[in-house]
Amino acid sequence: MKFLTIMAFALLFVPSTNVYAETPVPDVEFLNSDSGALPFSEAVRVGQTLYLSGQVGLDSSTGKLAVGGIKGEANQTLENIKRVLEKHGAGMSNVVKCTVMLADISEWATFNEVYVTFFKPPMPARSAFGANGLAIDSRVEVECIAVIPN
């Protein structure tokens, strides 16, 4: 009993430490293009990691989806990703993960024909799935995670 009393007393007077308070929290930076018309950030930077919102094949010069079906949209989508990465200090070689959403999963092989022209080995990790409807009736949407070089 004496031992338990001493332990209880010691715990009352030993300063507690919060291990979470000692862990530095990286700054979060919400990065947006000049337009700011859409209800999400173009990218979010957490430390050296850049999280890109999904991009579709929207041609900024026309305000419409790129022509040419899945090939045209895939090319424009990946060009849009490249532009966002470069704008925020990274490039296609800094991408570590992509998530691909296709309006029609049967267009996977055609999408890949375009994809491999933008990424070289070692390839980023990737997931893909078919979706029942994408923004503005696009054929493809891609989101990426990249590591910003020092």
Would you state the pLDDT for residue 59? Answer: 95
Copy the structure tokens of residue 145: 């995670």
Domain that holds residue 117: 26-147
Band (2; pLDDT cuts 50, 70, 90): low
Mean pLDDT of the chain: 86
CA distance 150 to 146: 13
Question: Domain with 46 in it: what CATH number?
Answer: 3.30.1330.40
Phi, then psi, of 71 in degrees rounded to 5: -65, -50
In a domain, 7, yes or no: no
pLDDT digits (tens, 9 = 90+) for 126-137: 999 999 999 999
Rounded to two decimals, what is the model's pTM?
0.80
In a domain, 10, yes or no: no
User: With contact defined as beta carbons under 8 Å apart, do 16 and 29 qualify?
Assistant: no
In a domain, 18, yes or no: no
pLDDT (average), residues 1-5: 49
In a domain, 72, yes or no: yes
In a domain, 47, yes or no: yes
| Residue 10 clears pLDDT 50, i.e. is over it | no
Would you state the pLDDT for residue 26? Answer: 72
Number of domains in the chain: 1
pLDDT digits (tens, 9 = 90+) for 30-72: 888 765 567 888 999 999 999 999 999 999 899 999 999 999 9
Would you state the pLDDT for residue 14? Answer: 47
